[in-house]
Amino acid sequence: NKKGDIAVWQKSPDNDCYNKLTKDTYPPKCDDSLDSDSAWYTPIRTCFVVPNPKFKNLGLTSISKWPERLRVTPERISKVYHGSASTFKRDDDKWKKHVVHYKKLIPELGTDKIRNVMDMNTVYGGFAAALIDDPVWVMNVVSSYAANTLPVVYDRGLIGTFHDW
C-alpha cells in the first residue's frame, strides 16, 4: 500500500510475485551490476533487489520458525568464503563455551545489569545466539573489510551492521 512518500510492503510466502512484475513497475527491479549485499561506499538506488532464485529457502514458508532458526544453518552461508554447515556448527559451539567462561569472569552478564552488547567482529552471530535466553540485546558488527556474513546473521533472525573502523 502506498500513500504519498510512505509505502508498506507485505512479504509474500514465496518469491513468485517477482515474476509477475511488469517493465513499468515502480520502483523497478535493480539490475545485477552491483552486489545486492554491498553497503559500504555503495550509492543508494531507487530500485528493489529480486532474491537470487538459487536460494530456494528464503521465502516465509521455508524459513524455520523462531527460535529454531538460530540453530539452523542458513542457506546463504554458501555465499561466505569457506562457509559451510560445519563452520557454522563450530562457530556456534565455540560461542556457547565462551559465554560460559565470560559469565564466570563477568557475573553480571546474563542479568539485567548488562543490557546492550556489541559483537564488534561477528562472523555468524554465534555470540548473540549463545546469549539468546538472557535479557541482553546484541548488535552484530561486521567489518567492511571482512567477508560479508550479514546475510547469515539476518537469516538467523538476528540484527547486524557494517562498520568501517
Q: What are the pLDDT digits (tens) for 72-130?
A: 999 889 989 999 999 999 999 999 999 999 999 999 999 999 999 999 999 999 999 99
pLDDT of residue 103: 97
Please give the CATH topology (third level) of the domain spanning 57-163: Rossmann fold (3.40.50)
pLDDT exceeds cutoff 70 at 24: yes
Distance of alpha carbon 165 from alpha carbon 163, whole angstroms: 6
- 75-to-55, 99, 152, 165 alpha-carbon distances in Å: 7, 26, 8, 29
With CA atoms as reference, report the closest residue to 129 among 164, 97, 161, 86.
Answer: 97
Give the count of beta carbons closer than 10 Å to the beta carbon of residue 92. 19
The CATH 3.40.50 portion of the chain extends over: 57-163
Residue 25: band (very low, low, confident or very high) from pLDDT cuts 50, 70, 90: confident
Question: Considering the chain, what is the average pLDDT of its residues?
Answer: 87
Nine cell digits for residue 38: 554491498
- HSE of 59 in the Cβ direction (CA atoms, 13 Å)? 12
Distance of alpha carbon 54 from alpha carbon 62, whole angstroms: 14
Give the count of beta carbons closer than 10 Å to the beta carbon of residue 26. 7
CB contact set of 91 (below 8 Å; sequence gap of 6+) = 123, 124, 126
pLDDT of residue 132: 96
| pTM for this prediction | 0.80
pLDDT > 90: percent of the chain = 50
pLDDT of residue 43: 80
